[in-house]
Amino acid sequence: MKGIRLDKYLAQAGLGSRTQVKELLKKGKVTVNGQEVRRPEEKVIPGEDTVCCGEETVGHQEHRYYLLNKPAGLVSATEDSRERTVLELFPQGLRRGIFPVGRLDKDTVGLLLLTDDGELAHRLLSPRKHVEKVYEALVDGQMNQEDQRAFAQGLDIGDDTPTRPARLELCQVGEQSLVRITLTEGRYHQVKRMCQTVGKPVIKLKRLSMGSLKLDDSLREGEYRPLTEEEIGRLKEC
Ligand code: URA
């Protein structure tokens, strides 16, 4: 069976642009079947050879997947005539073909998946799949059990149909409240509109998870990393 170049294999797995993965190779970080390999043109056979970068096994991926901790101030788009986009956080060499899976508002922070895998994106966003999305919100006002019941029943937020049942967890209650909200749909400004409907406008909003994919503490706002093989595998099970 014919192999593919090691630098291409590593770049396809999301480890960086061709230039960046050549740097990894130069630094001696990559092994193939336990042997350190520094030559980018070395051929590997996907599914047969075991490629590792440091401690991590690097599986062969046809597509690229990145977890971004989105900062405020950028729009979730690939291009925009006026605003800065999340793509600008990625070096030029990595931008080609990737797009954000769904949207977060410009002032929302947290988990955003970027990929060039249109099929997975389509499934994650499909209204029929009811993929869970968890948000942490700081709201103005005391969230209470009545709000929990209203979220659980579904709210009229001015659309044709009420929202699907959502979970509202009260983390800290006071003049301002910190809550966790789990949605299984993704309407425009949904969290903000739901909180506004119960009279407690959102002050800050952060997405913590989407399906099986969770934001981790390793990423500060504005930072991204490739998904691990395990994370990709679990997402594809959705
Ligand atoms: N709901 C909102 O209101 N805004 C977001 O960015 C995401 C969900």
* Residues 121-136 pLDDT 10s: 999 999 999 999 999 9
CA distance 182 to 134: 4
Q: Which two tokens stand for residue 68?
A: 């971004």
Q: How many CB atoms lie within 10 A of CB 214?
A: 12
Query: At 94, is the pLDDT very low, low, confident or very high (cuts 50, 70, 90)?
Result: confident
Least confident among 13-27, 70-84, 146-160, 172-186: 13-27
Catalytic site includes residue 147: no
pLDDT, residue 120, reads: 97
Q: How far is the CA of 178 from the centre of ligand 1 (A)?
A: 15
Global model pTM greater than 0.75: yes
First to last CA, the chain: 32
Of 224, 229, 213, whose CA–CA distance to 61 is shortest? 229
The DSSP element (H or E) to which 19 belongs, if any, is helix 18-26
Query: What pLDDT, on the 0 to 100 scale, is given for residue 126?
Result: 94
Asked whether residue 22 carries a pLDDT value surpassing 90, the answer given is: yes
Domain architecture of the chain: domains with CATH: 4-57 (3.10.290.10), 65-127+213-236 (3.30.70.580), 133-210 (3.30.70.1560)
194 CA closest ligand 1 atom index:
3
Annotated catalytic residue, options 105, 116, 160, 217: 105
Q: Which residues line ligand 1 at a C-beta cut-off of 6 Å?
A: 104-105, 108, 189-192, 205
Q: Which two tokens stand for residue 111?
A: 């988990």
**Is pLDDT at 95 greater than 70 in this prediction?**
yes
- What's the pLDDT score for residue 60? 86
pLDDT score recorded for residue 148: 98
Average pLDDT of the segment spanning 50-73: 93
**102 CA → ligand 1 middle, Å:** 10
Share of the chain above pLDDT 70, in %: 100
Q: Please determine, for residue 1, whether its predicted confidence score (pLDDT) is greater than 70.
A: no
Query: Looking at ligand 1, which residue's alpha carbon is closest to its atom 3?
Result: 189
Reported as a single tens digit per residue, the pLDDT across 135-184 is 999 999 999 999 999 999 999 999 999 999 999 999 999 999 999 999 99
Average pLDDT score over the chain: 95
